[in-house]
Amino acid sequence: MKIFLTRHGETIGNKERIHEGGRRHGKLSELGLEQAKKLGLRLKDEKFDHVYSSDLRRAKQTAREIMKFHPKIKIKFTKELREIDLGSFSGKHFDKVDWNKSPKNLEKKEDAQARAIKFIDRIYKKHKNQSILIIAHAYFNKALLSWVQRKDISAMKDIEQKNTCVNIIEIREDKKHRIHLLNCIKHLE
């Protein structure tokens, strides 16, 4: 299965350095909407069999710009693709968060990765040998990419996922998954 894994465009929260996490919908900034349009243009000639998107507004807005070029494909919006839940850190400015004192309602990286793996396993069973587009979030993508690379969950912090980046992943039955493209934003240049 070939997966095109993308991240939503810049949000107003990203611009203002506000943590949104998996609870806040966020809204694309003017730049974020422009990024989403450029991502749509970049992906317009790709052939997707299925499209999945996080159900959060920032991902939906990005997905809709991409889907203007793929009007016959129905988007499946799902909570499974949401960003890591930051609990009570959601809505707080980056400078007001003390990561040494994480809230109890913060979703663990391991749980987010397990959620990502469960989602991939489910769609692999349904869409083996097909091309899938996924519109998600930075830390969801990082959790999935660290698993594909067979790295420890702590490697998430070293994986960059810029707004509207494109990752191309090959999910294989023999579990020798491959990343063919990582964090590519050439469409923004």
- As annotated, the active-site residues are 8, 83
DSSP 3-state assignment of 169?
Answer: strand
- Of residues 137, 139, 138, 134, the one with CA closest to residue 124: 134
DSSP letter string over 107-122? PPHHHHHHHHHHHHHH
Residue pair 37/23 in contact by the 8 Å Cβ criterion: no
Q: How far is CA 120 from the centre of its chain?
A: 13
Q: How far apart are CA 145 and CA 55, in angstroms?
A: 20
User: DSSP characters for 58-92?
Assistant: HHHHHHHHHHTT-TTSPEEEEGGGPPPP-GGGTT-
185 with 165: CB under 8 angstroms? yes
